[in-house]
Amino acid sequence: MNAFSWLFLAALAAATATRWWLDRRQIRHVRARRDAVPPMFAGTIPLDAHRKAADYTIAKARLGVVDLFLDAAVVLALTLGGGLELLGRASASLFAAGSLAHGTALLSSLFLLQALIGLPLSLYRTFVIEQRFGFNRMTWRLYFSDLAKQTALALVLGLPLILALLWLMEHMGSLWWLYAWLVLTAFSIVLQLLFPAVILPLFNKFTPLADGELAERVGKLLARCGFKSKGLFVMDGSKRSSHGNAFFAGFGAAKRIVLFDTLVTRLEPPEVEAVLAHELGHYKLHHILKRIILSTATTLAGLWVLGQLLHEPWFYAGLGVATPSLAAALALFMLAVPPFTFFLQPIGSHFSRKHEFEADAYATRNADAAELAQALVKLYRDNASTLTPDPLHSAFYDSHPPAAVRIARLRPT
């Protein structure tokens, strides 16, 4: 072990301890307010629904604690525990050490191992927690069918990307990180174009919104907002979960508006219109573009940092790898970065919540604020979203504002 080993351990310990402390705060805070509906929601959220939301939040937080310590243990085992070194040696028994095939095998085996370790928790989340609270509609057959499709997509899309990145790292000299960034950016754009028309239909059925009051309202809303898309579709989200949602898929000429069937059946047409106006706000206010720019800038910065570490012996030795390679460097970087960047998470969460407020304000200018507030309350109730999150936990993690704060802005006194 060297100085970097101790720095990495300190970062991992600090991030893990803080996450555990935040989860414990969330559990205590929500449990303490389980038996009283906040006054703002007393007339719209029954006590039983509020208790269900509290219990659901606590159950997810407890599972999150297990996931937290499992993740820390896996990271330690793969780095200082020598796990990545063993994977590298196993891959070298099949392919020439340092070759593109060896690097691809090393990274693929790492991703496969992480997926297998996370599988039991994913199954527990779906078939125990979601089932217990009445949200899961996924069958075991559908779950593993989805898993098979996701694995196939990862192979078809991921293996060429890994090969391309390793080739660039090997052949493009000191500026490989810039070329790699260009490739990753192009890959992301192509993926966004393929996502609505090719990838999503592999998992769900999309039906154009039928004519009627909702279609008429949506048509007028889109005209008011000057928004053009490839269409408005209803997705059969109910075959996997009873949670409701709405989202955009793709961008440019390929963008589509997607409503979950659960959302359409639970909300009245004016409420759906208001929710959709909020989603349109994200697009019209360039929130999606800003997130893409931030993501690509972060990727560029990360690749540059990796470029500086690539040939530093202390980087490999400090993270338990005795046989340096390009693939090992990439793997170590992905494993080591999260503990160092964890404490930046509240910044991203803050700007995400800011965007939500801005999208709400846009919606109130193009739809009825009261209808949006009413729709959100229904979604909080039906999705068992806690109305009383711990403020500090929320500041770290929540991409959306707390329910009480958000509704208060939509219902000014």
Catalytic residues: 279
In a domain, 180, yes or no: no
Q: Distances from the Cα of 402 to the Cαs of 27, 54, 157, 204, 358, in angstroms?
A: 16, 14, 37, 30, 15
On whether both 298 and 258 belong to a single domain, the answer is: no
The last residue of one of the domains, among 330, 347, 364, is 347
17 and 92 belong to one structural domain:
yes
Domain-embedded: residue 382 = no
Domain for residue 155, yes or no?
Answer: no
- Supply the pLDDT for residue 76: 96
Are residues 253 and 296 part of one domain? no
Decide: 169 and 310 in contact? Cβ < 8 Å. yes
Domain boundary among 233, 266, 299: 266
293 in the same domain as 261: no
Kindly state the tokens that stand for 401.
């504002």
Do 310 and 259 belong together in one domain?
A: no
Claim to verify: residue 342 and residue 235 sit in the same structural domain = no
Q: Are residues 100 and 18 in the same domain?
A: yes
pTM of full prediction above 0.85: yes
> CA-CA distance, 279 to 272, in Å (whole number)?
11
Shared domain check, 211 and 320 = no
Residue 275 placed within a domain: no
Distances (CA, A) of 74 to 3, 31, 93, 117: 21, 30, 23, 9
Number of alpha helices (DSSP H) and beta strands (DSSP E) in the chain:
18, 4
List the domain range (segments joined by +) for residue 230: 204-266
CA distance 260 to 383: 13
Q: How far is CA 286 from the centre of its chain?
A: 19
Q: CA-CA distance, 130 to 121, in Å (whole number)? A: 12
Backbone angles phi, psi at 208, to 5 degrees: -55, 140
Cα–Cα distance, 250 to 253 (Å, whole number)? 8
Q: Give domain status of residue 220, yes or no.
A: yes
Give me the number of domains the chain comprises: 2
Same domain, 294 and 262: no
**So what's the pLDDT on residue 357?**
96
15 and 124 housed in the same domain: yes
| Cβ atoms of 301 and 190 closer than 8 Å | no
Last residue of some domain: 347, 364, 386?
A: 347
- 259 domain-assigned: yes
Q: Are residues 128 and 214 in the same domain?
A: no
CATH number at residue 222: 3.30.2010.10
26-35 burial string, b = 16+ CB within 10 Å, else e? bbebbeebbe
Give dist(CA 237, CA 247) in Å, integer.
12
The answer to whether residue 330 is domain-embedded is yes
What is the C-alpha to C-alpha distance for residues 314 and 309, in angstroms, rounded to an integer?
9
Q: Which residues of the chain have pLDDT under 70?
A: 230, 250-254, 412-413
Query: Does residue 14 sit in the same domain as residue 121?
Result: yes
Residue 142 located in a structural domain: no
